[in-house]
Amino acid sequence: MRSLAVYLVALAFGSAVRAAPKDCAHKVKESVVPPRGWTKAASAPANHTIELRIGLPQPNFAELEHHLYEVSDPFHERYGAHLSKEEVESLIAPHPQSIQLVDEWLVSYGLVQEDLSRSPAQDWVKVKVPVSLAEKMLDTEYHVWTHEASGESLVRTTSYSLPEHLHEHIDLVQPTTLFSTFKRMRSTARFSRTTPAAPSPSAPPIKVPTASGGEVDASCNETITITCLKQLYNAVGFTPSSKNGNKIAATGYLGQFANFADFELFNEDQVPEAVNATFDVISINGGENDQDPDEAGDEADLDVQFAFGLTFPTPATFFTTGGSPPFIPDVLTPTDSNEPYTEWLDFILDDPNPPQTISTSYADDEQTVPVSFAQRVCNGFAQLGARGVSLTFSSGDGGVGDGDSDPATQECFSNDGRNVTRFIPLFPPSCPFVTAVGGTTHIPETAVFFSGGGFSNVFPRPAYQDIAVPEFLARLAPGKFEGLFNPNGRAIPDVSAQADLFKVFIGGEAFLIGGTSAASPTFAGIVSLLNGARISKGLSPLGFLNPLIYALGAIEPSAFNDITVGNNPGCGTEGFNATKGWDAITGFGTPNFGKLKEIVTTGFLTLDLDSTGISVSL
């Protein structure tokens, strides 16, 4: 029977070959202005291989989004009733006609089913082809482009076309117009090989009313440790279960390796009960995790040590994803891979039981990411949220700029050909379906100057921000930063956490590291503790966090420690100021685990309407 089924599929596919519309007129599908900082170097080698990723429309995505918001709304009766993998895939599956017509187009260029790979929902098709064939298929010319600042190169085009009848059946094709450099978020300005001496043991603790026991060790103003974070965020004394099914993960890219020996040194220093503990490593797209001490990654070590140190003994996973877009003409790189983040997204969407909390500290300037690509990747995050996964992303280390130069002198030119000054938000943090985490420093906490914040130029403001963000904008001086940002865009960050002076072990040595790359795994660790508490009580994980965060920010602000001091300079400006309530540098502030645990594990939120207005009970 299987042989007959295979034969019938092959026969149907062969019929498509005969009907293939190879010679249909092409029409431009997407074009971009040559991006700033990239120079066209030469024509791409005809035999260079690229892996085309073809995105088919998701006609029912609006229905998926509707489900996502219902199961993520703490006031909705469906709160926490997350969808299954199969339910999500059925909602984002393309129309059969789209699949058929795209198959016909591919076959018309000599490609057969064995050449193709598809996502489980069939909304993505991938195929490896030489540049010469890609140019025919897309009626375009690929070139090698060189990034002036880094010297890296990409094989890309600034415009591509598709047969006109396919425009409604294909959302995008990449790699074409995606000039991403995909950087990690560690702030190099805050990297130090020398660990400052801790204050004298006689130094009095710092009084912090919301902290565990109302105080934090004085040493925490010099060096941030797991103990500091648990004290500051009111999490002392809580130990999660290792057997209730709760899991946490951190992602790694760009050759960032998480070193087991460093993890052991970290635990010996800061989490003695976790000595001899370990974490799983899952390789995606050929990702490696070299254990040579000289190859230990500062970003990877930071992420796993603090995310997994905070949540021990919760089972933990480090995802190491291979692939990097840069093409190196001098060594004749055989294959130009896709943006590695999409390789991870493919994998995790196909996982029937993904970790409930995942932290990522990598991003890129939003303006370097084509809108069509950003929207499709963001839709992938929505799918994970609907399945009960909480995603945290570092908001960036450049204030309102891109972090590539001194915040006071950043020029921050737009990438649309006008070359006007604009603030530069980052993607994926600007996606409305993830939680963007800004940074704080010192105790009492203030906003750290490099904390990324601002407003998306791609994604409109989501409904969950419709109260908090307009209130913040109303407090800005009239005309301040006019024309520099999009006041109607999705605002970031959502929350924040400590982001400086973190003591980590890298290559067997202690270092201090800063950056919102420290804030994201810290906040993710707190979320994972909350998930563990809920799961142990038979409740669902929190999933997509933002509707809950903004509800609590409005009606139960004590769930967060409001940060009202500091600003995030960039683009030659002083940036946004931290203020009471939500702001574009620290969001609603840093977490109060004890308060959040009380809220999310006991009765949750209810609204009561009476003649005096709305009252909230917990």
77 within a domain of the structure (yes/no) = no
SS3 state of residue 378:
helix
Which residues, other chains included, contact 229 with Cβ-Cβ below 8 Å and sequence gap of 6+?
235, 306, 310, 497, 498, 522, 525
| CB 517 within 8 Å of CB 189 | no
- Whether residues 497 and 539 share a domain: the answer is yes
- Give buried/exposed letters for 120-155 (b at 16+ CB in 10 A, else e): ebbbbbbbbbebebbbebbbbebbbbbbeeeebbbb
State which of 177, 198, 221 marks the end of a domain.
177
Whether omega for the bond prior to residue 521 falls within 30 degrees of 0, making it cis, is no
Distance of CA 94 to the CA centre of its chain: 25
- Whether residues 153 and 196 share a domain: the answer is no
- Whether residues 105 and 247 share a domain: the answer is no
- Whether residues 552 and 581 share a domain: the answer is yes
612 within a domain of the structure (yes/no) = no
Look up residue 57 and give its DSSP letter.
P
**What spatial distance separates the first Cα and last Cα of the chain, rounded to whole Å?**
59
The closest of 382, 357, 377 to 366, measured between CA atoms, is 377
- Whether residues 11 and 134 share a domain: the answer is yes
What residues are labeled active site? 299, 303, 517
| CB 242 within 8 Å of CB 313 | yes
Look up residue 580 and give its DSSP letter.
S
Residue 582 has which token pair? 């939500």
pLDDT score, position 334 = 44
- Residue written as token pair 């029409």: 27
Domain holding 124, by residue range, is 2-58+93-177
80 within a domain of the structure (yes/no) = no
State which of 145, 177, 209 marks the end of a domain.
177
Total structural domains within the chain:
2
pLDDT score, position 201 = 67
73 within a domain of the structure (yes/no) = no
pLDDT along the chain (618 residues), means of 10: 39 42 82 86 91 96 98 95 98 97 96 94 96 97 88 90 97 91 55 56 90 97 97 98 98 93 98 98 94 94 98 98 60 50 92 98 89 95 98 95 67 78 94 98 97 97 98 94 96 98 96 94 98 97 98 95 97 95 98 97 59 40
- Whether residues 201 and 117 share a domain: the answer is no
**Interatomic CA distance for residues 262 and 505, integer angstroms:** 5
**Interatomic CA distance for residues 496 and 498, integer angstroms:** 7
**Interatomic CA distance for residues 311 and 288, integer angstroms:** 24
What's the pTM? Answer: 0.92
- Whether residues 101 and 236 share a domain: the answer is no
- Whether residues 158 and 222 share a domain: the answer is no
67 within a domain of the structure (yes/no) = no
Here the CATH number for the domain that contains residue 265 is: 3.40.50.200
74 within a domain of the structure (yes/no) = no
- Whether residues 193 and 170 share a domain: the answer is no
State which of 127, 150, 177 marks the end of a domain.
177
- Residue written as token pair 């070359």: 419
**Binding site listing for Ca(2+):** 562-563, 581, 583
- Whether residues 333 and 446 share a domain: the answer is yes
615 within a domain of the structure (yes/no) = no
- Whether residues 145 and 202 share a domain: the answer is no
- Cα angle value 285/295/439 (rounded, 5°): 85
SS3 state of residue 481:
coil
Residue 164 has which token pair? 């006109």
